[in-house]
Structure 1
Amino acid sequence: MSGKLLRLVCTVAVAAGAGVVLVLPPAAAAPGPEPGGRTVTQQLTDLQRLYREAEKATETYNATAEKLTKQRTEVARLDLELARARRSLHDSRVAAGRLARQQYQGSTEISAYVRLLLARNPQQALDEGHVIGQLARERAETVGRLTENEKKADGLARAARKALDGQLSLAERQKKDRDDVQARLEDVEKLLVSLTPEQLAALAELEKKGTDEAQRQLMASGVLSSERRPSRKGDRALKYAVRQIGKPYKWGAQGPKSYDCSGLTSQAWGRAGTPIPRTSQEQWAQLPRIPLKKLRPGDLVIYFPEATHVAMYLGEGMMIQAPRTGENVKVSPIASYPILGAVRPDQRPRRL
């Protein structure tokens, strides 16, 4: 597979107040048809689509993997609680067995009432009666604990079985998601190996022109004209991300040797003391959103309508990202892909 994996920015949608700014690369720069009948623009469009499909499949895999991790934790917790409940049940059954033997062995004893009538010392008999009553209550409590522990153990056993079934189902889904990612990447590789070096060079040039024009229009719009300083945690997250520059992209990876896009951002903010969701889609769905005109270093920029890519804003119109298979963590123009919006992991919730 070529080490240069390509993506064209066709449009960049930027939320600026109530409006939307569309940034379009120049259509006139597209080369003419290749001998095979497809233009470089069409080839690049195909490649972009395949990369987006692979990235979407990767984020689906990541989401399933995160759910599976949580489910395994829940299974382990329930197993531990079930083991404790079974030990308590065993102790309750031992106590209940001892109670049954005591009742059987003492079945011919004179009742406490008769003992009181025949006693030479009524007070002593009353004291003994109090003890007998206490023993009766303890026996009732023993039976109650046995019944309660049996119910608890049965309930936990059912919950543990259900959790285990869920884990097995997620594990099967994870395998299917993994196979889907592999299939998408194989499609990318097939397209790349079918291209000549000249075609690859033309694709790279077309991509660069599109990105440069999109970046020029975005910066000229003034949306990012006001630079801001990062927060303390944002600065720590940014410094972590900068230290990862040059490390390879690997789908499903969260470091320390390689990353995918959301693996980089989630690890950076986690190291800064603010854990965030694992996937770009959940980062977009759960983290506080901010307008691009308020963007500051350390904030996260989300890309594509499906929120399938994420990068960290560096400042001055640049971002740090883990792009895709075959590339390394690097600094890129913020307009390299269609922008969906931005989020700030350490944004304080508004007071009502």
Structure 2
Amino acid sequence: MSGVLLRLVCSAAVAAGTALAPMPAAAAPDPPAASERGAAGLLTELQRLYREAERATEAYNATEERLERQRALAERLQAALARTRNSLHDSRSAAGRLARQQYQNRSDLSPYLRLLLARDAQGVLDQGQVIGRLARQRARAVGRLTGEAQKATELARRARKALDTQRALTERSRKQRDQVRERLREVEELIASLSPEEVAAVEKLERAEADAEQQRLVTSGALPVPGTAPAPTAAGAQAVSYAVRQVGKPYQWGAEGPGTYDCSGLTSQAWEAAGTPVPRTSQEQWARLERIPLKRLRPGDLVVYFPDATHVALYVGDGKVVQAPRPGARIKVSPVAGPGPVLGAVRPDPAGKPLRHYQPPELPGRAMAGPDAGRAQAPAASATSLR
């Protein structure tokens, strides 16, 4: 998920507090202060839960991608099987006609005797050539019939196997969907248990951690110096433009637009719109695209986060990325370090040539402002809205 985790907490905590009837004073202990529960511990727990939810989300996305390919394979096999069965029917009809012709032209005399007894020997020889052609036609028909029967049997076997795999993937997808929802319910329960003081302490700590990591990247020279980074390629510029146009749209796990996105749904669709398809999930984007040093980042490159590559954002230049953070949040522009610990960067179009003249798209007025997590909905509510 993303870095600034807890701006949605205020409304959730207040809502939870107002929804509960006050207990008698003697029976209701005061909630522990933030210092007692430990802001660092709470932040670690929330980050863990969000990362587990994102890990489950990306696993779900990978299964859905495989399921889509499997459905297409099953459809192709079924179409090929239907064509082969039609051809097999035609071959059987042709073989039947040849068999009837052979039966109708059958004679008890051998070809040698017919030649000796015939008044027109040349006519018999011509007839023999015709019979020879018919024999060759029969042989080809039998061979075609046998081959198509074998092909139909093999296609039927492959089609059954493809459907079995599709059913297994469908069941796996259902289980992974339930796992994501369960993780998000755990997040919601923890958020509802926080006091306003804990919310403020955890939010302050998380913001400080993100600012410190961004500063470390800048001072270490790990990021391009503003104004010196290479321009994007034409495709990279299109991907940036697409991603920036999505700013303000809600995060929804498993979504690929056009109204909602998850993190890898945004990056994959941005590059799809640029005419350069990339893998659907953040793990596959990290595994299959060319890796580059952060210092060589150019707009359009993808920045991947966390050791298991469970989050991804699209670099827009000047040390910033556009990202779909997590349930309850909206797509926004953040510092590179905002989403979390940076794992590395990948380039979807390594062979592309940078543009000679590039004008970055204008960011929406409040692209970096406001909470990283929305106040209008709780995480579990967004979880139940997925298809």
TM-score with structure 1 setting the length: 0.88
Out of 216, 219, 230, the residue aligned to residue 228 of structure 1 is 230
Is residue 340 from structure 1 mapped to residue 343 from structure 2 by the alignment? yes
CA contact (8 A) 1:59 1:280 kept: yes
Matches within 5 A, 1:85-100: 85-100=84-99
Out of 307, 310, 324, the residue aligned to residue 308 of structure 1 is 310
SS at match of 1:225: coil
Q: Shift of the alpha carbon at 1:206?
A: 1.6
Q: Shift of the alpha carbon at 1:125?
A: 1.9
Q: Shift of the alpha carbon at 1:7?
A: 6.3
Structure 2: tracts of 5 or more residues without a match: 8-31, 353-387
CA contact (8 A) 1:259 1:322 kept: yes
Is residue 291 from structure 1 mapped to residue 293 from structure 2 by the alignment? yes
Is residue 83 from structure 1 mapped to residue 82 from structure 2 by the alignment? yes
Out of 264, 278, 281, the residue aligned to residue 279 of structure 1 is 281
SS at match of 1:115: helix
CA contact (8 A) 2:265 2:280 kept: yes
Aligned residue in 1 for 2:118: 119
Aligned residue in 2 for 1:155: 154
- Separation (CA, whole Å) in 2 of partners of 1:35 and 1:218: 30
Aligned residue in 1 for 2:215: 216
- Counterpart residue type for residue 191 of structure 1: L
CA contact (8 A) 1:57 1:181 kept: yes
Matches within 5 A, 1:47-196: 47-108=46-107, 110-196=109-195
CA contact (8 A) 1:311 1:319 kept: yes
- Separation (CA, whole Å) in 1 of partners of 2:91 and 2:156: 18
- Separation (CA, whole Å) in 1 of partners of 2:213 and 2:144: 71
CA contact (8 A) 2:249 2:260 kept: yes
| 1:10-58 deviation line (CA, Å, top 9, x unaligned) | xxxxxxxxxxxxxxxxxxxxxxx82694111111110000000000000
- Separation (CA, whole Å) in 2 of partners of 1:167 and 1:346: 32
- Separation (CA, whole Å) in 2 of partners of 1:45 and 1:264: 26
- Separation (CA, whole Å) in 1 of partners of 2:34 and 2:330: 32
- Separation (CA, whole Å) in 2 of partners of 1:348 and 1:173: 37
- Counterpart residue type for residue 263 of structure 1: G
SS at match of 1:335: coil
Q: 1:183 to 1:36 in 2, by over 3 A?
A: farther
CA contact (8 A) 2:34 2:197 kept: no
| 1:214-268 deviation line (CA, Å, top 9, x unaligned) | 1112111112234221111100000000000000000000000000000000000
Aligned residue in 1 for 2:380: none
Q: Shift of the alpha carbon at 1:99?
A: 2.6
- Counterpart residue type for residue 81 of structure 1: A
Aligned residue in 2 for 1:17: none
Q: Which moved more, 1:215-224 or 1:319-328?
A: 215-224
SS at match of 2:257: coil
Aligned residue in 2 for 1:330: 332
Q: Shift of the alpha carbon at 1:186?
A: 0.5
- Counterpart residue type for residue 53 of structure 2: A
SS at match of 2:37: coil
| 1:148-182 deviation line (CA, Å, top 9, x unaligned) | 11111101110100111110111010011101111
| 1:62-118 deviation line (CA, Å, top 9, x unaligned) | 000000000000000000000011111111122222233333333346443333222
- Counterpart residue type for residue 167 of structure 2: L
TM-score with structure 2 setting the length: 0.80
- Separation (CA, whole Å) in 2 of partners of 1:248 and 1:5: 16
Out of 238, 246, 249, the residue aligned to residue 248 of structure 2 is 246
CA contact (8 A) 1:5 1:325 kept: no
- Counterpart residue type for residue 6 of structure 1: L
Q: 1:180 to 1:237 in 2, by over 3 A?
A: same
Q: Which moved more, 1:190-199 or 1:92-101?
A: 92-101
- Counterpart residue type for residue 149 of structure 2: E
Q: Shift of the alpha carbon at 1:313?
A: 0.6
Q: Shift of the alpha carbon at 1:5?
A: 6.9
- Separation (CA, whole Å) in 2 of partners of 1:113 and 1:84: 44
SS at match of 2:337: helix
Provide the alpha-carbon RMSD of the alignment.
1.9
Aligned residue in 2 for 1:261: 263
- Separation (CA, whole Å) in 2 of partners of 1:123 and 1:98: 27
Q: Shift of the alpha carbon at 1:212?
A: 1.2
Q: Which moved more, 1:216-225 or 1:234-243?
A: 216-225
- Separation (CA, whole Å) in 2 of partners of 1:203 and 1:256: 33
Q: Shift of the alpha carbon at 1:129?
A: 1.1
Aligned residue in 2 for 1:41: 40
